[in-house]
Structures are given as C-alpha cells and as structure tokens.
C-alpha cells in the first residue's frame, strides 16, 4: 500500500456466501476491482461478517447462496465534492451490466435481500 492520502473514492467489492438462515459463512474481496488499502478491506470484511441476509425461501426453507456487494468509501472536503458522491460511487456488474447502488447487493445464486443497514453516514 502506498503511504499518504487516499483518493477521494475507494471501492471494495465483497463476495459473501451465506447459509439458509442468512448468516454469512464466508466473506472475501474481489481484488481486481477493490481498493488496495488494507484498513478499508479489513473494515469491509468485518462489517459484512455481521450482516443479516434474507435468503430466498423454498417450501419455507432458506436457500444458501452468494452475493456481491460494492462498498464505496467517499472522502469529501467540500459540498461540491459531496454532491458528486453518488456519481463517483456508481458501480455496474461487469457480467450482467446491472447498476448496483448504495445499500444494494447482487444475488449470484438465487433471490436474496440484505436485511442489515449498510448505507454509510456523513461524518
């Protein structure tokens, strides 16, 4: 990792596997599209390990699966930069050409929704 200031926008793309109850069983980072900052990666993984996921239900039983979720860390120093945050943090799935916005995830195996609040806060 390079020492010094981070770029104003840092992205971490997480791949999360979960069991039928919605508990994450494995959390990893997709390296080619993620920030190389180890502290952001560590914080992202730690957060995702506590997520509660609502898996698809089949005959009343939760279906294990996998999802990807982009996290965007934005460091804005003035209102003009903050106003550009949404455009700077956009991410599209490279395989499905689907827009994934803040607080959203993309199911890889079956229908799923994220029950945990992962939308960031302005500090």
Whether residue 101 is contained in a domain is answered as yes
Whether residue 52 is contained in a domain is answered as yes
Whether residue 100 is contained in a domain is answered as yes
Whether residue 4 is contained in a domain is answered as no
pTM, entire model: 0.70
Whether residue 105 is contained in a domain is answered as yes
Whether residue 93 is contained in a domain is answered as yes
Q: Please tell me what DSSP assigns to residue 73.
A: E
Q: Would you list the DSSP string of 20-56? A: TTS-EEEEEE-GGGS---HHHHHHHHHHHHT--EEE-
Whether residue 89 is contained in a domain is answered as yes
Q: What are the pLDDT digits (tens) for 50-69?
A: 999 999 888 899 999 998 88
Total domain count for the chain?
1
Q: Would the pLDDT of 122 be above 60? A: no
Q: Please tell me what DSSP assigns to residue 85.
A: H
Domain holding 47, by residue range, is: 9-114
Q: What are the pLDDT digits (tens) for 1-10?
A: 445 566 677 8
Whether residue 119 is contained in a domain is answered as no
Stretch among 3-12, 16-25, 31-40 having the lowest mean pLDDT: 3-12
């Amino acid at each position: 990792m390079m020492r010094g200031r981070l770029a104003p926008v840092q992205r971490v793309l997480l791949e999360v596997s979960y069991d039928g109850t919605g508990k994450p069983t494995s959390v990893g980072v997709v390296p080619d599209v993620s920030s190389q900052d180890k502290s952001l990666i560590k914080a992202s993984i730690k957060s995702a390990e506590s997520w509660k996921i609502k898996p698809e239900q089949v005959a009343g039983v939760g279906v294990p699966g996998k999802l990807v979720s982009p996290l965007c860390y934005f460091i804005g120093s003035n209102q003009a930069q903050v106003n550009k945050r949404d455009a700077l943090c956009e991410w599209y799935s490279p395989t499905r050409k689907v827009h994934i916005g803040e607080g959203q995830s993309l199911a890889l195996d079956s229908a799923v929704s994220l029950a945990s609040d992962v939308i960031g806060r302005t500090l």
